[in-house]
Each structure stands twice: as C-alpha cells, then as structure tokens.
Amino acid sequence: GLEATRKLLRSHPDIKVVAVTVCEEDPFPTRLLQAGAAGYLTKGAGLPEMVQAIRLVFAGQRYISPQIAQQLAIKSFQPTNDSPFDALSEREIQIALMIVGCQKVQIISDKLCLSPKT
C-alpha cells in the first residue's frame, strides 16, 4: 500500500500508481493519494471501471472510485470530529490493517522486520 507506492515513485518518478484495495475508510485513501497514487479503486470495482481508471490516469488525470470520492467530499464539509486513527503513523496503520486482516503476530513481525514483542 503506502510504502510500496512511495518506493515505486522514488525509484520510478514517472510511473503512475493506481491502487486497488479493500480499504475504503479514511484516512487510508487520503494518505495513499498524498503518497502519490494517481488512482484509487476498491476491490469491488468492475472491469469497466478499472479500464476507465487506467485510461484516465494514463492520460494524466486522477481517478478515485465514486464511493471513495463521495466519502472524501462529505468528510471535507463536516465539522472536524478527529478520529483516533488520524493520529496513527503510517507504520501503525500498516500494522493495524494486518491485525484486522487476521495475520498472526509472528507473520507481521517477520514481514515488517520487527521483534514479535514490539
């Protein structure tokens, strides 16, 4: 997700990243777009939407799936009720997503080069 996008863009600045993910809740879409992703789709997107997103991004535009775009637009007009997740670092969000995905502590620590006690 976030780290892969950053690494890709650091090593290949001209590449266009279109993220396809199950994470629909902010702050993840916002952070991924801030990291440089040019497109953001949910895994529920159909083939026509994926093709449209790739074509728009290839043409130099951005693409955000409608449900994510609506969520972000609505959030921008709401009074700030800061979510406790907004305070998390990207690394903490990465770990939280792995935990929510039912990954075991040992697997998480191996993937992230951490001690299991961390």
**pLDDT score recorded for residue 62:** 94
pTM of the model: 0.62
User: What's the rounded mean pLDDT across residues 28-32?
Assistant: 84
The chain-wide mean pLDDT, for the chain, equals 85
User: What's the rounded mean pLDDT across residues 3-7?
Assistant: 88
Pair (69, 105) in one structural domain: no
Pair (13, 37) in one structural domain: yes
Greater confidence (2 vs 17) lies with 17
**Domain encompassing residue 101:** 88-118
Cα–Cα distances in Å, from 1 out to 4, 20, 29, 59, 79? Answer: 5, 9, 10, 23, 28
| Residue found under tokens 């535009």 | 61
Pair (74, 95) in one structural domain: no
Pair (23, 77) in one structural domain: yes
